[in-house]
Structure 1
Amino acid sequence: MMVGLIIVSCNKTTETPATQDVAFKASTATISDFKASTCDNPAPSYALIEIDGAIMQVGIFNLDGQILTNTLKLAPGTHTISMFVLKNDNNTPGVTSDDIEVLATPLTGANYANFVSHSLPFNFTVDAFMKTEVNIDVLCFEAADITNFGFAWFAIDKITVRELCFFGDFCTADYMTYAGTLYAQQANGLRHDMPAIFKVEVYKNNNFVVSYNNESWLGEGAPLCVQYPDFDGTVDNFSFKLYVKVLVGTSFEYKLFHTFTTVDGGQLNYGTDGVLDFVIGDCVPDADLVLPSYLNI
């Protein structure tokens, strides 16, 4: 007698999960540390996030001094985040019309876009069975850098947007040689003492950050105010390179005249009115910074 024995192997197929958990974690010492000293925004109550065209209001909670969002579910794959805002409910839970924006990620093309690693929108990937780290930055008037970890965790650390203002005078006996330049377009025309047309380049730890100039108003009537990001919790060395527009031979161009340095939020040791006044030449002897006369040789 022949006995037929059929053995069926049952191997469980590993299926890709339909969704993965996604959460946002705000890594701060206390809620009040979420905003810097010059930012009057209140503490956040919830997050407003747009992913793949869908806007979600996500609750947040405090755990051991850290702020976390409730868990979201996202399918494995590539997703696009186009809005990330932390908001305060203005003590009216359930009523959104009076809610206050606390922190937000700037859009590409906005003034503060160059202060973040990735302005919105941008893509990120959620991997099946693997943790995903996504990096996103948010800014208030005082700002925060966001670092992500976990399946799609977003952690928030604070940075500060700082500001320095400059105003300058350009004194030269050869002012008539500047005919046809921007100085000739100033309200008082060419003269011995003219408002300086200049730019300031900002460097952090020897890396270029941003550049500002006052050409659009010809240096007249208002200082040039320079904003730059200072990451809290790290030592940042800043350099501010002052270039003034002068004749170099027959070329009208920016020439480096001075470099200021500071560490983190340290103030430049010039003046008490919030504006650093400088002069090239001897026509404003009480300026905060007096630089030697310039000769176009």
Structure 2
Amino acid sequence: MGTYYSQKKCPRKEYLKLIVMRKLNYLVVLFVFVGGLFLQSCNKDEVQKVPEAEMQFVINQTDFEFKTLDDSVPMCQDLSMDYVVFELAGTTYTSPIMFANGKFLTKTVKLDAIDGTYALTSFFVYHDNLPVGPDSQDVMIKAAPLPNSTYHDLMVNKLDLEISVEAFEKAEVIIDVLCYEDIFYDAFGFTWFDMNQVRIERQCVFGDICIPDDYLFEGSPYIQSLYADQENGLQTDMPAIMEVKVYKSTELIRTFSNANWDYPGEGSCLEVYYANDEDLAESFTYEVYVLKPNEANGTMEYQLVGTINFDDEVGGITGDDGVVDFVVGDCNLDDVDYQWAY
């Protein structure tokens, strides 16, 4: 019996050992297979990952004060800067604007780019009209002048700006912009306006103001006013010191004034102008403000004396001289185009 038991015991051990070895082999194969899938997935992720660079612009608002220029320059509009649209290496990007650390910045933009130098070829700043988000109702209020344009030489950080980009790095770039108005598109080098469609309309405005006789004497608010600086001093009938606000529909385009002339309000008519799209029916308004005393406190201020409404290129009424002339007060003048109460 002892011999029989010994003979059966050894084969059973070998059998169990064989089973264990087979299971271990299965586990090794499974581990290698799963590990291969994991490595393949990692390699696949590495292959698909596109190099990205980050860019942020500092918007430097340049003015015309450091150059000698004609008075006809774009006027800054009192509108918020909400977002920018720029073109880098042939790709157009849009980014919101924020104010931080005392400067206007674009939010960081991610670029699909490898190491290298890229040309910034356009940069526009927009005010976002409702509805919220970029659309055709928004207003371009600032822009970087294009190379070879009249205003390009005024810039320091200007187009075509060469920007060095490194993958997985962030670049902060300063760009100079100027206030923008459509009628100055050519000075910015912009060519998307068709000269046969957009026309600059110009008119000259001149006014007289007739004041009561007692305003010529001591205590009169006119004595210390700009009228006293006119070549002939205070008179009962003087050239009006004025502001003319030009509106397209309800949008203020620009304010023109003759107050800063050598002799305020005197020596010439005041030229006003606006851009007229000849393909559209548009309405315009001149609001005429004249410098005169506030009846309540005697303070000299610009007061609305009259409005002139017209369509397209019609402009205000003119006589044979081509000048829009008006009178405020009881001046006995003939053939004036507009007569408004003092």
Corresponding residue for residue 162 of structure 1 = 201
Distance 2:192 2:209 in 1: 45
- Corresponding residue to 2:234 among 190, 194, 201: 190
Which residue does the alignment assign to 1:257?
305
Query: Which structure is higher in helix share?
Result: 2
Question: Structure 1 residues 163 and 107 mapped into 2: Cα distance closer, same or farther (>3 Å)?
Answer: farther
* One-letter amino acid of the structure 2 residue matched with residue 72 of structure 1: G
Amino acid at match of 1:213: S
- CA pair 193-105 structure 1, distance change in 2 beyond 3 A: same
Deviations 1:186-230 (A, max 9, x none): 111222211111111122221222211111121111111123334
CA contact (8 A) 1:193 1:283 kept: no
Deviation at 1:168, TM superposition (A): 0.8
Matches of 2:212 and 2:311, distance apart in 1: 37
Query: 1:2-21 maps to which residues of 2 (within 5 A)?
Result: 2-3=25-26, 4-5=29-30, 6-7=33-34, 8-9=36-37, 10-11=40-41, 12-13=44-45, 14-16=48-50
Partners of 1:76 and 1:232 in 2: CA distance: 42
1:240 and 2:286 correspond? yes
How many residues were matched structurally?
A: 200
Residue 324 (structure 2) pairs with residue 276 (structure 1): yes
**Residues 1:173 and 1:83: Cα distance change in structure 2 (over 3 Å):** closer
1:261 Cα offset (Å): 1.3
Does the C-alpha gap of structure 1 residues 235 and 248 become closer, same or farther in structure 2, counting only changes over 3 Å?
same
Residues 1:221 and 2:260 aligned together: no
User: What TM-score, normalized by structure 1, do the two folds share?
Assistant: 0.53
How high is the TM-score relative to the length of structure 2? 0.47
Offset of residue 244 of structure 1: 0.7
Q: 1:275 to 1:105 in 2, by over 3 A?
A: farther
CA distance in structure 1 between the partners assigned to 2:251 and 2:291 by the alignment: 23
2: distance between equivalents of 1:228 and 1:104?
Answer: 20
| Residues in 2 aligned to 1:86 and 1:171: alpha-carbon distance in whole angstroms | 50
The aligned counterpart of 1:210 is 254
Asked whether the 8 Å contact 1:104–1:140 carries over to 2, the reply is no
* 1:170/1:155 CA distance change after superposition, 3 Å: closer
Show the counterpart of 2:338: 289
Q: Is the contact between residue 145 and residue 188 of structure 2 (CA under 8 Å) also seen in structure 1?
A: no
Post-superposition shift, 1:242?
Answer: 0.3
Runs of 4+ in 1 over 6 A off after TM superposition: 77-80, 103-108
Overall identity of the aligned pairs, in %: 28
